[in-house]
Every structure is written in C-alpha cells, then in structure tokens.
Amino acid sequence: MNRLLIFYSICIFICILISTAVSQLTFTNPIIDTLSADPCVLRVGDNYYLTISEKGETELTIYKSPILTSFRNAESKVAFVIPPESRDMWASEMHEVDGELYIYFTMSTNGDNHRMYVLKAENASNPMGNWSLPLRLLPDWDFAAIDGTIMRHNRQKYFVWTSGRIGTLAIYIAPMVNATLIARPIVLLRQPTQEWECGDGCVNEGPFFIYNRNVSYMIFSGSSTWDPGYALSQMSIESGKDPLDPLNWDSVEGPLFWRNDEEDVYNTGHAAFTVSPGNFYDNIIIMQVIERF
Ligand SMILES: *[C@@H]1O[C@H](CO)[C@@H](O)[C@H](O)[C@H]1NC(C)=O
Ligand SMILES: *[C@@H]1O[C@H](CO)[C@@H](O)[C@H](O)[C@H]1NC(C)=O
Ligand SMILES: *[C@@H]1O[C@H](CO)[C@@H](O)[C@H](O)[C@H]1NC(C)=O
Ligand SMILES: *[C@@H]1O[C@H](CO)[C@@H](O)[C@H](O)[C@H]1NC(C)=O
C-alpha cells in the first residue's frame, strides 16, 4: 500500500551526474552543466535554490532558478569555501527552520572525518545573500556523520542522518532543540540487512522527509553509491507516534525506486523533494541517477 506514495510524488526528474567512466562521452545532464552529487532544492519565494558541492567538493554553491528543470546559466552564489586542510564537502541541504534559512552539510577536517555543520543565511528572504560561518552539529558525538536532514513530526523537529558508528552506514534520529542544537537521545533508526541494500557493501543513507495525510515518510537510499543497484526505499510513521521508537515505524519490503536496465538507468539514489510552483504538487522528486551506454 505504501507504494501508492509514488503516485503522490511527481517523479519526473533529475539527473545530477556523479562520475561514470564509460558514459561521459554521451550523457548530457538535462538540468545543469556541473558535475556533482547529492542534489537538493528548496523553493523560497518564486525561485528554486539548488545546493551542490563544486571544485572538487570544496565549495558549497547555490544555484537560483525560477524553473526547476533548468539551472543552466543560472545565477550562482558560493555560500561557503572549506578551509585548506579540509575536504569532502558533501550533501548540502537548505532548510527553512523557525523562519530562518539554514544549510546542513558534511565536511572532513584535519582531525575529524565527516562531521555535520550548519550555515545560517543572514537574510532568510535572500538565499543568494551572505551566509554565516559553519557551526559544528553534534560537537560531542564523535562519530562520522553525513547526509543530515530535518524531520517535522508532532510539532517537533528531529535531525536524521547517516553514521558508520556501528561499522555499517546506518540511519540515526535525535530531537532538535532548535536549528543548530541537537538534543538526546540519539537513536539508531534503521540499518541495512536486506539484499537490495547491500550491493557492494551494506548502506542506508540519504534520508529525506515528505508528508502526506498525517503520515511522515522517510525516503532513503540503500547500497553503495557506486553500485548500479543503489536504490530508494521508504519508512513511514503516523502522526501521534513517537519517531524515537523504531518499532513505531513501518517499512516497505525491498526498494521503492530502482535501476531500469532496459533504459540503461542505474544508481537511482540519494533523492530530495521539493514543491511545484503554487504548491500544486507537494512532492517533486529530485535525484541523482547515472546513465550508461
Ligand atoms: C532581505 O532580502 C529581501 C529579498 O532580497 C530584500 O527585499 C530585503 O530588503 C532584505 N532585507 C534586509 C534586511 O537586507
Ligand atoms: C555580503 O558580504 C560582502 C562582504 O562583506 C558585502 O560586500 C556584501 O554587501 C554582502 N551582501 C549582502 C547581500 O549583504
Ligand atoms: C539554540 O539553543 C542554544 C541553547 O539555548 C542557543 O545557544 C542557540 O543560539 C540556539 N540557536 C538558534 C538557532 O536558535
Ligand atoms: C490528521 O490529524 C488531525 C489531528 O489528529 C486530524 O484532525 C485530521 O483529521 C487528520 N487528517 C487526516 C487526513 O487524517
């Protein structure tokens, strides 16, 4: 029954190409010329804002466009350049929280491999304006953390992310005090066990939330990003239930959105969602895929 969710989403879209040894001669990304992974788009006012990593994952760039399907020649703004000794600026997501705009992302520094950070917009009405310096999230939780996102449930905010704390990449959840402060407890929400999520290593990552009829849906990726079978699945929880108890969640058996060998489309992973102009459609999927020829 949960597969019906796919019909509530307008699954058109989108290709942000990562790297593909064979295909670069022929593949043309339909929406943007840059090569990057982990696309995320937020609609603010009358425009869409795409956040991605550029310059060898050292710069966090925002692209602005009134049209979701074209960021080519779009106005851009570098929100943050990582310090020289740092690397792996990954998976940035812009979110509106308590009337302000934030970008959550991952970065590795000299001492710490993959920790989460957040930037705040100086002016919440202008994502192309200046952004604050980064603030480390979970400063006293000393484990790798990537793909952070926000869940809204029962009028409470939760931070949901991926960590290799238990040795395999799994999804964690914790309540948020506010946009920059994550509270306790930190709960292991889901870890990969099924065949579809263990392609070239067991991985659960890239959580993103959509909401429909009092149910919160977490769309997430399973398997390695470099495995052609990288795919999306879903967990969901009804309003009123406590998301910090994993037993309150329902899971879909197997993947929900996966490779299409007939069309040569693979690695259908890391998705984000946004709304259509006028909020006519709540959930338009934005995702990375790879085509091979
Ligand atoms: C914030 O940005 C909006 C949209 O660009 C602009 O109209 C407004 O004047 C800005 N506010 C401040 C305080 O700069
Ligand atoms: C952003 O910061 C630069 C450098 O401080 C400043 O010149 C510019 O006016 C600022 N932009 C906005 C929109 O505040
Ligand atoms: C979050 O709460 C902490 C502790 O009260 C405070 O220091 C911080 O400024 C708050 N951040 C935001 C974005 O409100
Ligand atoms: C959602 O929950 C609220 C509060 O419990 C209830 O009033 C409303 O009817 C529910 N909506 C749907 C579509 O189930």
Which residue's CA lies nearest to atom 12 of ligand 1? 123
Look at ligand 4, atom 3, and give the residue with the nearest C-alpha: 214
Residue 281, pLDDT score: 77
The pLDDT value recorded for residue 242 is 98
- CB proximity list for 123: less than 8 A, separation 6 or greater: 129, 130
Provide the H-helix boundaries in the chain: 5-8
Residue 260 CA to residue 247 CA, distance in Å, equals 32
- Identify the pLDDT of residue 27: 61
In ligand 3, which atom is closest to the CA atom of 120? 13
Establish whether residue 126 lines the binding site of ligand 1, counting it when its CB lies within 6 angstroms of any ligand atom.
yes
Token duo for residue 138: 């979970």
- Report the distance separating Cα 237 and Cα 247, nearest Å: 10
> Would the CB of 130 count as within 6 Å of ligand 1?
no
To test the pocket of ligand 3, the residue of 97, 135, 137, 180 to mutate (highest count of ligand atoms within 8 Å of its CB) is 180
Q: Which atom of ligand 2 is nearest to the CA of 129?
A: 13
Secondary structure of residue 197 in the 3-state scheme = helix
- pLDDT at 45 (0 to 100): 94
Half-sphere exposure of 169 (CA within 13 A, CB side): 24
**Neighbouring-strand partners of residue 41:** 50
Q: Which pLDDT score is estimated for 104?
A: 98
pLDDT at 156: 98
Separation between Cα atoms, residue 221 and residue 255, nearest integer Å? 9
Judge if the beta carbon of residue 100 lies within 6 A of ligand 1: no
Which ligand minimizes its atom distance to the CA of 137?
A: 3
Structural domains of the chain sorted by starting position, each given as residue range(s) with its CATH number in brackets? 2-291 (2.115.10.20)
Query: Ligand 2 pocket: which residues have CB below 6 Å?
Result: 129-130
In this structure, the residue with its CA closest to atom 3 of ligand 3 is 181
Q: Whose CA is nearest to atom 8 of ligand 4?
A: 214
Q: Output the tens digit of pLDDT for each of the chain's 293 residues.
A: 334 344 344 444 444 444 333 344 456 777 888 778 888 999 999 999 999 999 999 999 999 999 998 999 999 999 999 999 999 999 999 999 999 999 999 999 988 999 999 999 999 999 999 999 999 999 999 999 999 999 999 999 999 999 999 999 999 999 999 999 999 999 999 999 999 999 999 999 999 999 999 999 999 999 999 999 999 999 999 999 999 999 999 999 999 999 999 988 888 888 999 998 877 777 888 878 776 64
Cα 130 to averaged position of ligand 2 atoms, centre (Å): 6
Distance 54 CA to ligand 1 centre (A): 27
Nearest CA, atom 10, ligand 4: 214
Give the HSE-up count for residue 58: Cα atoms under 13 Å, Cβ half-sphere.
6
Q: Choose which residue among 81, 128, 130, 133 to substitute to test ligand 2 binding: the one with the highest number of ligand atoms within 8 A of its C-beta.
A: 130
Check: CB of residue 169 under 8 Å from CB of residue 154. Answer: no
